[in-house]
Amino acid sequence: MHSALLKKLIIACLAMFAFAFALVPLYDVFCQVTGLNGKPSLEVAKASSRVDENRLVDVSFTTHAQQGAPFDVSAEQFKVTVKPGEVTKVAFSAANLSQQARVMQAIPSVSPGIASKYLHKMACFCFNQQPMKAGEKQDFELMFYVDTALPSEIEELTLSYTLFDITEQSQQVALEASQDEPTSMETSDE
């Protein structure tokens, strides 16, 4: 008499436990759709077909080496003014400040969060893990455009990169990381 109900309830429990983990990918999807938390897409975007000539948007860049990450990355210009739809290139110079080979992962974040949906990156050093030799200096290029659909009340947006040292996590894949899909990245699958 009880076992049928008991079984249902236990299945409900297990389903909810699984749901907790399902929330992880769901959250990412949710972020992409709503721009929650300024989590931009890590996909390579296609060029825009249209340029909005009547509007200018400020895009500023900032980088931040996470505690202990021995990297210094800075954009050539702190701020660029772009027309929505226009593809813009920004040069970044990066350096490994340590005396060891390290692997850098840059995590992009956009503010205001809602704007992350409208900032499309066509080339970015954040797409891949970046192995850097001891003391090495590298130049990166960011290629992006702002979607013409960007809500008109947004006049200014910021693209921030947080630099993480992921040498330990990526020891095995460090060598081919520049060509391959970074395997330790969860969000880069989709």
Partner 1 sequence: MSSIVNPHDHGHDDHHGAPSGFKRWLFTTNHKDIGSLYLIFALAMFIIGGAMAMVIRAELFQPGLQLVDPHFFNQMTTVHGLIMVFGAVMPAFTGLANWMIPMMIGAPDMALPRMNNWSFWILPFAFAMLLFSLFMEGGGPAFGWTFYAPLSTTYSNDNTALFVFAVHIMGISSIMGAINVVVTIVNLRAPGMTWMKLPLFVWTWLITAFLLIAVMPVLAGAVTMVLTDKYFGTSFFDAAGGGDPVMFQHIFWFFGHPEVYIMILPAFGVISTIVPTFSHKKLFGYASMVYATASIALLSFVVWAHHMFTTGMPLAGELFFMYATMLISVPTGVKVFNWVATMWRGAISFEVPMLFSIAFIVLFTLGGFSGLMLAITPADFQYHDTYFVVAHFHYVLVTGAVFSIMAAAYYWLPKWTGHMFNETLAKWHFWLSLISVNVLFFPMHFVGLAGMPRRIPDYALQFADFNAIISIGGFAFGLSQLLFVYVVYRCVKGGDAAPAKVWDGAEGLEWEVPSPAPYHTFSTPPEIK
Partner 2 sequence: MKAYRFAVGWLAAMLPTAALSNSDYNMRQGVTDISQQVYDLHMTIFLICCAIGVVVFAIMFWAIIHHRKSKGVTPAQFHESTKVEILWTAIPFVILIAMAVPATKTLIAMEDTSKADITIKVTGSQWKWHYEYMGEGVDFYSVMSTSQDQISDKEAKGENYLLEVDKPLVIPTGKKVRFLMTSDDVIHSWWVPDFAVKKDANPGFINEAWTRVNDEGIYRGQCAELCGKDHGFMPVVVEAKSPEDFDVWLASQKSAKLEAEQASAALLDQTLPKDELMAEGETVYMAYCAACHQPTGLGLPGVFPAMKGSPVVTGPINDHIDIILHGRPGTAMQAFAKQLSIKQIAGVVTFKRNTWGNDTGDVVQPSQVQARLDAKQEEGK
Give the long-range contacts of residues 179-187, CB within 8 A, separation 24 or more. 182/105, 182/128, 182/129, 184/129, 185/42, 185/105, 185/129, 186/24, 187/28, 187/42
Indicate which of partner 2, partner 1, none lies near residue 33 (CB less than 5 to 8 Å, by partner kind): none
6 lies in the site for partner 1, by CB under 8 A? yes
20 lies in the site for partner 1, by CB under 8 A? yes
User: Which of 96, 105, 128, 130 is close enough to bind partner 1 by CB under 8 A?
Assistant: 105
21 lies in the site for partner 2, by CB under 8 A? no
Site for partner 2 in 120-179 (CB under 8 A): 133-136, 153-158, 160, 162, 164-165
* Bridging pattern class, strands 79-82 and 130-132: unpaired
Residue 141 CA to residue 26 CA, distance in Å, equals 31
Identify which of residues 45 and 126 has a Cβ nearer to partner 2 in the complex: 126
- Residue type for position 41: S
Based on its alpha-carbon atoms, the radius of gyration of the chain, rounded to whole angstroms, reads 20
Residues that bind partner 1 (CB under 8 A): 1-3, 5-6, 9-10, 12-17, 19-21, 23-24, 27, 31, 34-39, 66, 105, 107, 111-114, 162, 164-166, 169, 184-188
